[in-house]
Structure 1
Amino acid sequence: MSNKDKLIVIIDDENDILTMLEKYFTREGNYRVKTFNNPLTAISSLPQDTDLVLLDIMMPQMNGLDALPKLLEKNPDVKVLMMTAYSTLDKVLNAHRKGATNYIMKPFSSLSALGKKIEDMLKA
């Protein structure tokens, strides 16, 4: 399966992050990308063929830790990469307990490092 067959869903309340990641993953990674700036909308509209979700933890409508089990309920096989600028060991452990595959700190050290992490997650 090539990258163009893979769907990445990005959920973040910051539109600049959504735009930047969508451009990067469609151009550099050649993935299909769908973005949501509201986790409630993402939960109700999550495409069934989603391969990976990039999920921000801190959002005003619903935090990512609360959205995570609801997304996994809709698609138990999806891989979830949590994103946060406010990481604590407790949040990381809580995300793993709730089913997150991995996490990454914002701001990203580099988009290519993020792309490599996603590529590795999709191969596993």
Structure 2
Amino acid sequence: MSDRTYNLAIVDDASEIIEMLSKTLSRNKKYNISTYTNPLTAIDNIDSKIDVVFLDIVMPQLDGLEALEKIINKNPEIKVIMMTASSTLDRVLKAHKYGATHYIMKPFDSMQNIEKKLELVLGI
């Protein structure tokens, strides 16, 4: 097992989602977590040091699919896990077209499944 530390960013306009994910994932000392309630601020701050972004699709400041496209254009190697409570096939297809790695539905079925998906994305 690697001693590497991974940098995560959580982007969601719902502070309770950010808090839940941050609290759960920060228990594992191998994750450094940055959080953003505004996708525009996230786009400005997410750089090549970030390994994985948890990105909400529906946000008032900027649609998550637009944010995804901007993040991937800025850093094509970044892994993005899209999150949404309102999924349509069109959104899922667009998310994958724009470079999303995975897609998870809110409310989350279990935090353990999210941790497993994160490990899968990171290859650990």
TM category (shorter chain) comes to over 0.9
In 1, Cα distance between equivalents of 2:21 and 2:49: 19
User: How far apart are residue 2 of structure 1 and its match?
Assistant: 3.2
Q: Percent identity?
A: 49
Q: Deviations for 1:44-94, whole angstroms, at most 9, x for unmatched residues? A: 111321000000000000011010111012211110000000001111001
* Alignment gaps of 5+ in structure 1: none
C-alpha separation between the residues in 2 aligned to 1:90 and 1:14?
A: 23
Q: Which runs of 4+ in 1 moved over 2 A?
A: none
**2:3 is matched with which residue?**
2
State the TM-score, normalizing by the size of structure 2: 0.94
Aligned equivalent of 1:87: 87
CA separation in 2, counterparts of 1:38 and 1:20? 17
Pairwise CA RMSD: 1.4
State the AA in 2 paired with 1:48: S
**Which amino acid is 1:116 matched to?**
K
Kindly tell me the number of residue pairs found equivalent between the two proteins: 123
Please give the TM-score of this superposition, normalised by the length of structure 1. 0.94
* Contact 1:55 1:82 (C-alpha < 8 Å) held by counterparts: yes
Gaps of 5+ in 2: none
